[in-house]
Structure 1
Amino acid sequence: MFTIQLNKMFFYAYHGVHKEETIVGTNFEVSVSISFDANKRVEKLSDTINYVSVYEIVKLKFATPEKLLETLAQNIAAAIYLIDNRINNIKISIAKLNAPIVNFVGEIGVTFEENY
Structure 2
Amino acid sequence: MASDLSKLGDKLVLRGLMFHGYHGVKQEEKKLGQKFLIDVDAWMDLRTPGHTDNMADTVSYTSIYRIVKNIVEGPSQNLLESVAQLIATTTLNNHSEIAAVRVVVGKPHVAVPGPLDYLGVEIIRYRSTDMPV
TM-score normalized by structure 1? 0.90
Structure 2 partner of 1:66: 77
Given that 1:42 and 1:48 are in contact with CA atoms closer than 8 Å, whether structure 2 keeps it comes out as no
The one of 119, 124, 131 equivalent to 1:113 is: 124
Shift of 1:102: 4.8
1: distance between equivalents of 2:47 and 2:108?
A: 39
1:79 aligns with 2:87: no
Given that 2:34 and 2:109 are in contact with CA atoms closer than 8 Å, whether structure 1 keeps it comes out as yes
Structure 1 partner of 2:101: 90
Fraction of identical pairs, as percent: 28
2: distance between equivalents of 1:108 and 1:51?
A: 25
TM-score normalized by structure 2? 0.79
1:21 aligns with 2:29: yes
Instruction: Name the count of aligned residue pairs.
Output: 115
- CA offsets per residue over residues 33-84 of structure 1, 9 Å max, x none? 0001246334211111111111111000012211000011000111111222
Change beyond 3 A, Cα 1:23–1:90: same
Gaps of 5+ in 1: none
Gaps of 5+ in 2: 1-8, 128-133
1: distance between equivalents of 2:99 and 2:19?
A: 26
Higher relative contact order (CA 8 A, sep 6+): 1
Higher helix share: 2
RMSD: 1.5
Change beyond 3 A, Cα 1:34–1:42: farther
Shift of 1:105: 3.3
